[in-house]
């Protein structure tokens, strides 16, 4: 009889152990509940390569100001340091080659000419919003609108170092004995293939 009690105790212990192992197995195999998050999960966007669009650039060869019925050939003008003077022309406007070429990125394009009737004498009658079109050697046309006017002394060269949005400045002489330079500033509106 004691043998039966020992077997019963043994099997009872074995049964209790199996039950405990089963309970532990169930507890381990059941996934824990998901915690409640206080903030939403942010999923980052995949890396997107940025596309760089190069500026459209061209050397001015023609200037049209419809409201003044002005349509001029534009040649390239340079500063001659030995003589201390700029290229000039009695019949053409001149693109100052030390200024920015016509572009849709930044900086100022300077086109200058004499204050003659066939050239820039009528710039003083420009009205705000007047359009100027610059045609380039690579078949683009840049359209600008007239924004402002200022008069400077010939030694003021700030127009060549101006930064910011692309702009056009038309320059001519003014004042008694041409002692001043009149600067007519235009802001870029658009550029297209001509």
DSSP 188: E
What value does the CA radius of gyration of the chain take, rounded to a whole number of Å?
40
Q: What is the pLDDT of residues 133-176, one digit of tens each?
A: 999 999 999 999 999 999 999 888 888 888 889 999 999 999 88
pLDDT tens digit string along 69-99? 999 999 999 988 788 788 999 999 999 999 9
Please tell me the predicted confidence (pLDDT) of residue 4: 52
Residue at 37 is within a domain: no
Share of the chain above pLDDT 70, in %: 72
In this structure, the answer to whether residues 18 and 75 fall within a common structural domain is no
> In 3-state terms, what secondary structure has residue 144?
strand
Check whether 36 has a pLDDT greater than 50: no
Q: Provide the whole-model pTM.
A: 0.73
8 in a domain, yes or no?
yes
Region of residue 178 (left: phi > 0; alpha: psi -120 to 50; beta: else): left
Give the integer Cα–Cα distance in Å for 160 and 141: 22
Q: Which residue has the tokens 């235009």?
A: 186
For residues 27 and 78, state if they share a domain.
no
Query: Are residue 150 and residue 77 in the same domain, yes or no?
Result: yes
Give domain status of residue 44, yes or no: no
Tokens (6 digits) for 18: 């199996």
Write the CATH number for 157.
2.40.260.10
Asked if the structure places residue 38 within a domain, the reply is: no
Q: What is the mean pLDDT of residues 171-187?
A: 94
Domain span at residue 156 reads 57-193
CA 131/CA 65 separation, integer angstroms: 6
Tokens 């050697």 appear where?
137
**C-alpha triplet 115, 92, 140: angle, nearest 5°:** 115
Neighbours of 89 (CB within 10 A): 16
Residue 47, pLDDT > 60, answer: no
């Amino acid at each position: 009889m004691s043998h039966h009690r020992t077997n019963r105790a043994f099997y009872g212990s074995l049964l209790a152990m199996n039950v405990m192992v089963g309970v532990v197995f169930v507890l381990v195999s059941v996934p824990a509940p998901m915690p409640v998050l206080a903030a939403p999960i942010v999923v980052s966007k995949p890396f997107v390569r940025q596309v760089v669009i190069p500026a459209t650039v061209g050397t001015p060869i023609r200037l049209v100001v419809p409201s003044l019925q002005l349509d001029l050939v534009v040649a390239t003008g340079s500063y001659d340091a030995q003589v201390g003077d700029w290229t000039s022309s009695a019949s053409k406007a001149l693109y100052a080659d030390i200024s920015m070429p016509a572009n849709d990125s930044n900086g100022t394009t300077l086109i200058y000419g004499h204050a003659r009737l066939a050239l820039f004498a009528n710039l003083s009658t420009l009205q705000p919003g007047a359009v100027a079109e610059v045609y380039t050697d690579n078949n683009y046309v840049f359209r600008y609108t007239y924004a402002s006017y200022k008069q400077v002394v010939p030694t003021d060269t700030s127009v060549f170092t101006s930064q910011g949005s692309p702009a056009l400045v038309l320059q001519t002489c003014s004042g008694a004995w041409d002692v001043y330079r009149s600067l007519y500033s235009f802001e870029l509106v658009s550029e297209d293939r001509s």
